[in-house]
Amino acid sequence: MKKLLILSLFVSSALAFSKPYPEYSMLERYEKEDPNEVQYVDSKDLDQYRLTFKEGARVFVGGKAIENTSLTFVMDKEGNIYASPDKMYLHHSSFLRGQKVACAGHLFLSEGALHTVMNSSGHYVPPARSLISVAEELLERGVDIRDMTFLPVQSKEVHNIEAEVKSLISEKTKLNKIKNKGCRSILDQILG
């Protein structure tokens, strides 16, 4: 029985963190937006908007520490997150030049740490489910999301997203405990 439980945990965790993440297109009314009116980021300049984490949930954009602010962000299907302070007036479509996204919205920081993720984008209107992809990616990067809020703009989905994020945290914690026992592989544990 124990072997089946460990196997099911391994399989469900492996599937939960699989990439590519589901993608969502821009709303049709924005598909023909004028790149001369909406600033598109050239692909060679995209790294200056790449979001990374150090020391837990400490946020860096383009290698620079970010403090108390809100950020406009998008995440692509591979889990790359791009962001800029809201005051820079980049649209969600700016980062990937109107291409599909796994999530788009706003990130809220306090003392340089991420505390809230929202899927608030008029260009993409990503579903509440897109926040799960962000939570998975943050966990994959080793970010502690236990005290973060993943707030869908679809208010009726708040409890569903909250429950799924708690489940992800629980699965990742269990998987890390298995990995940290010093076994050669997960199969060693399953086979005893």
The pLDDT tens digits of the residues spanning 70-107 come to: 999 999 999 999 999 877 778 999 999 999 999 999 99
Average pLDDT, the chain: 80
Please tell me what DSSP assigns to residue 50.
Answer: B
Going by C-alpha positions, the residue among 140, 134, 113 that lies closest to residue 57 is 113
pLDDT of residue 48: 95
Please enumerate in sequence order all residues whose Cβ is within 8 A of that of 84, keeping only pairs 6 or more positions apart, or say none: 49, 61, 71, 72, 90
Mean pLDDT to the nearest integer, 2-13? 35
Going by C-alpha positions, the residue among 17, 64, 103, 139 that lies closest to residue 95 is 103
Burial of 112 (0-12, 13-18, 19+ CB in 10 A): middle
With 60 as the cut, is the pLDDT of residue 178 above it?
no
pLDDT of residue 176: 61
Better pLDDT: 62 or 35: 62
pLDDT of residue 114: 94
Q: Are 112 and 67 in contact (CB under 8 A)?
A: yes
Write the pLDDT tens digit of every residue in 122-167: 999 999 999 999 999 999 999 999 889 999 987 677 777 777 888 8
Question: What is the reported pTM?
Answer: 0.77
Share of the chain above pLDDT 90, in %: 49
pLDDT band at 54 (very low <50, low <70, confident <90, very high): confident
pLDDT of residue 17: 56
Per domain, the residue ranges of the chain are 38-191
Between CA 70 and CA 154 the distance in angstroms is: 20
Better pLDDT: 143 or 173: 143
Q: Which residue has the tokens 């403090």?
A: 67
